[in-house]
Amino acid sequence: MKFAVVRDRIHRLRDRLAEKLVSAFVAHGHELCDDREAHLQMVLNLTDAHRPRPYRRRSRAVYVVTLVAADRLPENAQRAVYTLLVRSLSNLAIYAIPHNGDAEVHFTTLEAGFYHIPFEPEAVYQHILPLATSRLVIENEITPDLPEAYWRETPITQKMIQYGRELDRLGVLPAPFPIRELLSERDLRHVYRLYGITGLSYGNLSARESIPELGPTTFWMTARGVNKAKLSGVGKDLLLIRGYNPTQAHILVSVPPRHNPRARASVDAIEHYLIYSAFPEVEAIVHVHAWMEGVTSTQQNYPCGTQELAKEVVNLLHRTPDPSQAAVGLKNHGLTITGHNLDEIFDHIRGKLLTQVPMMS
């Protein structure tokens, strides 16, 4: 893997930790290079905790790790470090503080995972590498070929709107993160160009609707970044997924002629597509940033929208007694829940969801 380091000013603790971390990457055979390198895969962005400098990558394939250091953690550390991640346009933010003569590092991800470990270069390297080398599948191929019978709400999309509101009532639908308050218009345009994101809002719903003329696996899914408590129409907040192009790693989306041109499928579309393809008896899927007692969890906190996370979830479902009625955990993230319909899923989770996701290093 080719990686680069960019630096903003000098900070003694941060720069000392960065030097050790870079040495760990080089010792494992990775190549330190200039950040203008054509095949760059990761950037270590060394910036200021209070005035973070964003790194504007040339490609979404570049994974950005922002490292800062300070004398102590800020008040409401989880929100503060997540705000740092957003402002620095990063995939992963690491906040270091002095601890027992060395340092402790606090990680946060776009999925809002927040955990900490003592700083040890090899351990930090092992936390970063699987995330930096995972493959995102979030590009959409949008075609205005949705049959006219589906241009307006169907009974299935009506159920999705209904249950989006219920997720809000259950208290497991975090408020959309105020990305527009934190980023300049220039940075917002940059984020949209890379990821098709106009907001940060967690959780999603999908439900199968058979439309044979579009393909063997067709399902409705909430669009990327929309508030699930206020879902509106087809081609806006609800999109029809009709397939996956593995050659180009594109999610195939069907829309009516009149649609929101900025709407994109949820980044979790690849996970839902692989689940529906592997388990024909699954008719609905719900993802929430919440937890349930006794669930089996993924072992790695891969980013949303990666092939690696999607395949690990499918493998977990294969090991459940009944994949068509199951709940599996996503490490430091939340739950994926399957069912024969949305009614069944919500009957299963009512009164059982824990709003606090346990964090594991």
Q: What is the pLDDT of residues 203-236, one digit of tens each?
A: 899 999 999 999 999 999 999 988 898 998 999 9
Query: Each residue of 86-116: pLDDT tens digit?
Result: 889 899 999 999 998 899 999 988 887 899 9
User: How far is the first Cα of the chain from the last one, in angstroms, to the nearest whole number?
Assistant: 24
pTM of the model: 0.91
> Does residue 133 surpass a pLDDT of 80?
yes
> Would you say the C-alpha torsion 353, 354, 356, 361 has a positive or negative sign?
negative
Q: Which of 216, 85, 222 minimizes the C-alpha distance to 163?
A: 222
167 with 288: CB under 8 angstroms? yes
Provide CATH code, domain 139-349. 3.40.225.10
The structural domains of the chain, with segments of one domain joined by +, span 2-132, 139-349
Average pLDDT value over all residues in the chain: 91
Answer yes or no: are the C-beta atoms of 325 and 340 closer than 8 Å: yes
Minimum mean pLDDT among 30-44, 89-103, 122-136, 192-206: which range? 192-206
Task: For residue 20, give both structure tokens.
Answer: 């050790």
Domain boundaries 2-132, corresponding CATH code: 3.40.50.10300
* 8 Å CB contact between 8 and 53: yes
Contacts of residue 12, defined as CB under 8 A and 6 or more positions apart, other chains included, come to none
CB 291 within 8 A of CB 356: yes
HSE-CB at 300 with a 13 A cutoff on CA atoms is 19
